[in-house]
Structure 1
Amino acid sequence: MLTYAAAEAVLAGMYGLGSDIQGKAFRARLKHLKRLGVPLGSNPGRGTKIWYHDEQLFQWAFCLELAEFGVDPTMVVSFIRTSWEDIFEHFKEARHRPQGPTELCFYAEPRFMAAQVSGEGKPFDYQWRDAGKVRIAGTRRCLVINLSAMVREMDILRVGADSTQPKEQ
């Protein structure tokens, strides 16, 4: 489990952000996601200390990855709400995949305009693929996130930010 500060440090580290940036724009982005409801179910009220588990950290990280592609946060949060159970199962699987062609990737063909205009369909038509099997031949646009690499990086960053270990005096 991580405190908010430690979770923020892990997430900021994923994007190579220092504490000066972390304290401004990045923190605002995380707070905006919290206002929209991510991490899911973490609204204990003001002044209550929250401990974040892997699942909640993964939710934030996945939202931030989609933000890197320019996906609107409200669309991302809606997608997380409807698909999180499946995504989380794959996060757990990704942790155990070795580095290389069997790393687990989220592969999506975005359909944002069609989903918004028609009000039907999903904004992401997604699949899970091994890194070595990601092919885009014939696909006009796609988005790929290497979940295995993401989890590996988060685990490394977490070692430095882990607030569950007692600090030596």
Structure 2
Amino acid sequence: MTSKADLILHPVRMQIIQRLAKGPATVQELMDALTDVPQATLYRHLKTLTDHGILHIVEEKKIRGTLERTYSLKEHDAAHINAEEASKWDKDEHMQMFMTYMAGLINKTERYLDGPTDMHQDVFGYSQVDLHLTPEQWQAFTRDLQHIFGKYTAQKPTDETKSATMAQLFIPEKNHE
């Protein structure tokens, strides 16, 4: 049995999920968004994600004798790994998943930097801050983040909007006593 993490943290499947997190898409729309993924590979990964309940087909229609399918994430958190699932992993599994996650971000950054850039106008950047919060403050902080993310991720792309990826990562420091 393939774990949920293995399913969603595969580099190609992660790209598919990230695109579908923005809304349903046809295979053609996915191919337009994932230009470095061959069509046969895309179909294979769509089947894998659908067979394992991460994606589902929300529409099928015939176009010139061909069946066009529109895919969507099955549930809002279908592609989310919760703390209970992650707590079952050992250090090597966490490192493998983290490296896959980082490789996806590196790939996206490289694609951005390969083209013309305008760092004054674009929202490109990266930073790091240290937070020192009580457990109650952490709960409030994550609720606030979820509220902010929900407010802005619900927006659909338009000609007036600028799209960017924001990655979230928390690395707790070990308490030394």
What's the TM-score once normalised by structure 2's chain length? 0.28
More helix, by proportion: 1
Q: What TM-score, normalized by structure 1, do the two folds share?
A: 0.28
Q: Whose Rg is larger?
A: 2
Q: Which has the higher contact order (CA 8 A, sep 6+)?
A: 1
